[in-house]
Amino acid sequence: MPIYGYECKKCGSTFQTLVRSGETPECPSCGAVELEQQLSLIASPAKGGEDAPPMCSPGSGGGCAGCPAMMG
């Protein structure tokens, strides 16, 4: 079941939701079903090279403020 991003045409709220086959999602803020599906970005690992950010070490916890991978 994919997760899709939407923008509500009625109230402008943006949200993501799990959409099952045959279901019509609704805005969690106002309940409207007039939604515009947003472009989803897919994260994939870089193949190395100069543009690839360094990976954090497994023991770092992923929350390092000075992590080069998080400083984009």
The pLDDT tens digits along the chain (72 residues) read 678 899 999 999 999 998 888 899 999 999 999 999 997 766 666 665 556 555 665 555 555 556 655 555
Confirm whether 24 is domain-assigned: yes
What was the pLDDT predicted at 19?
86
Confirm whether 13 is domain-assigned: yes
Give every strand in the sheet of 14-18, ordered side by side: 14-18, 3-8, 35-37
Confirm whether 54 is domain-assigned: no
Nearest to 12 by CA among 51, 47, 38: 38
Confirm whether 51 is domain-assigned: no
Confirm whether 61 is domain-assigned: no
State pTM to two decimals.
0.53
Residue 10 is part of which domain span?
1-39
Q: Count the Cβ atoms, other than its own, within 10 Å of residue 27.
A: 21
Number of domains composing the chain: 1
Confirm whether 69 is domain-assigned: no
- Distance in angstroms (rounded) separating the CA atoms of residues 31 and 9: 11
- Distance in angstroms (rounded) separating the CA atoms of residues 72 and 57: 17
Confirm whether 31 is domain-assigned: yes
Confirm whether 48 is domain-assigned: no
